[in-house]
């Protein structure tokens, strides 16, 4: 059998906070992500989802265990693992267009050449259109609403066309219509371009609609509680949400997450 693309083995991460007890953000986390898989992660706030994503991105160190991609240790960030950040991380001194074009300057194409100015512009144009921001190309981030900033961050992440896409609640700040549209766009992109996606969300509906497996995490210390396979055929659309199998899986995950919520000592 083929080896999984990303293997997370027994990872532990403790944050040392001065003058306070240490926070064990992750403990004994094991997860294997296959090539071209779409994995969603749900779990209560503070359970370590972002920490896990940062570790895969190579932006955070960990205390023990191992994280590999293509069998090699992940030792730092790289353009083959694109990240869409929870806090957008847009460069405030760049326009929407410049924000999207910026990452492209580091990419070497298959033929060894770099993107030309025109190619960068065309790519930016394409993704700006995809996230419905036409007309805002030359705006600075400060002039955009939270949802619009999030869409710029999404366009920027997509434009890089990375092998693995790590997305941290990317649709969290969007209205229901935009969210539905972007969910479908993401599904189409994933089906046609066969990327590997690691997607954090608070929305169980979204997790079941998008992913082939839902990872449920629990808090204190952050652990993987359960991994639920979603055996619904692709291509999926918003109509998939009506199917009885979808509702069954969704309710099951809801129950698990909600029980965990009740168990949190308050």
Partner 1 sequence: MAEQKKSARKLKDFSDGSARMRYTLMTVSIIGGFFFWYLITLIPTINTFLASPKQVLRALISESKAGGRYWKDISISLQRVLIGFGLAFVASIPVAFLMGWYPKVRNLIEPWIQFMRTIPPIALIPLVILAMGLGEPPKYTIIFIATFLVMVVTIYQGVKEVDKTLIKAAYTFGAKDRDLFIDIIIPASFPFILVGARLGMASALTTLIAAELTGTIFGLGARIQGAQQFMDTAIVLLGIITIGVIGFILDKILLFIEKNLTKWK
Ligand X SMILES: Nc1ncnc2c1ncn2[C@@H]1O[C@H](COP(=O)(O)OP(=O)(O)OP(=O)(O)O)[C@@H](O)[C@H]1O
CB closer to partner 1, 28 vs 103: 103
Q: What angle do CA 39, 42, 44 make, to 5 degrees?
A: 160
Judged by DSSP in three states, 6 sits in strand
Stretch that binds partner 1, among 26-34, 38-46, 82-90, 255-263 (CB under 8 A): 82-90
Is 106 among the residues that bind partner 1 (CB under 8 A)? yes
By C-alpha distance, which of 100, 78, 72 is closest to 88? 100
Select from 93, 234, 258, 261 the one that contacts partner 1 (CB under 8 A): 93
Select from 7, 24, 107, 232 the one that contacts partner 1 (CB under 8 A): 107
Select from Mg ion, partner 1, ligand X, none the partner in contact with residue 25, using the beta carbon and a kind-dependent cut-off of 5 to 8 Å.
Answer: ligand X
Judged by DSSP in three states, 1 sits in coil
Select from partner 1, ligand X, Mg ion, none the partner in contact with residue 17, using the beta carbon and a kind-dependent cut-off of 5 to 8 Å.
Answer: ligand X
Closest contact distance (angstroms) between CB of 13 and ligand X is 8
Distance of CA 61 to CAs 7, 220, 249, Å?
Answer: 16, 19, 34
Stretch that binds Mg ion, among 24-32, 50-58, 77-85, 204-212 (CB under 5 A): 50-58
Select from partner 1, Mg ion, ligand X, none the partner in contact with residue 79, using the beta carbon and a kind-dependent cut-off of 5 to 8 Å.
Answer: partner 1
Q: What string marks each residue from 15 to 54 as x (binds partner 1 by CB under 8 A) or -?
A: ---------------------------------------x
Beta bridge partners of 226: 216
Side-chain-facing half-sphere of 228: CA atoms under 13 Å: 28
170 and 153 Cβ atoms separated by less than 8 Å: yes
User: What CA–CA distance (Å, rounded) separates 112 from 174?
Assistant: 37
Q: What angle do CA 213, 214, 220 make, to 5 degrees?
A: 140
Select from 12, 65, 102, 121 the one that contacts partner 1 (CB under 8 A): 102
The binding site for Mg ion (CB under 5 A) comprises: 50
């Amino acid at each position: 059998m083929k080896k999984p693309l990303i293997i997370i083995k027994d990872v532990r991460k403790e944050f040392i906070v001065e003058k306070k007890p240490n926070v064990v953000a992750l403990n004994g986390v094991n997860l294997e992500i296959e090539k071209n898989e779409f994995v969603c992660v749900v779990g209560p706030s503070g359970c370590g989802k972002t920490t896990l994503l940062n570790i895969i991105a190579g932006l955070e160190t960990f205390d023990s265990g191992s994280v590999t991609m293509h069998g090699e240790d992940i030792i730092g960030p790289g353009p083959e693992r694109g990240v869409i950040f929870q806090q957008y991380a847009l460069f405030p001194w760049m326009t929407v267009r410049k924000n999207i074009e910026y990452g492209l300057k580091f990419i070497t194409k298959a033929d060894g050449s770099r993107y030309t100015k025109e190619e960068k512009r065309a790519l930016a144009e394409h993704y700006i259109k995809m996230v419905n921001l036409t007309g805002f190309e030359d705006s600075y981030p400060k002039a955009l609403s939270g949802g619009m900033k999030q869409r710029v961050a999404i366009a920027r992440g997509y434009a890089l066309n990375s092998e693995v896409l790590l997305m941290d609640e990317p649709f969290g700040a969007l209205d229901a219509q935009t969210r539905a549209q972007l969910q479908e766009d993401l599904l189409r992109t994933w089906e046609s371009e066969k990327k590997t996606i690691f997607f954090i969300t608070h929305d169980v509906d979204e997790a079941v609609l998008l992913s082939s497996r839902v990872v449920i995490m629990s808090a204190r210390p952050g652990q993987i509680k359960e991994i639920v396979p979603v055996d619904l055929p692709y291509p999926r659309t918003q109509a998939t949400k009506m199917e009885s199998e979808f509702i069954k899986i969704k309710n099951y995950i809801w129950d698990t997450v909600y029980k965990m919520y009740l168990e949190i000592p308050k």
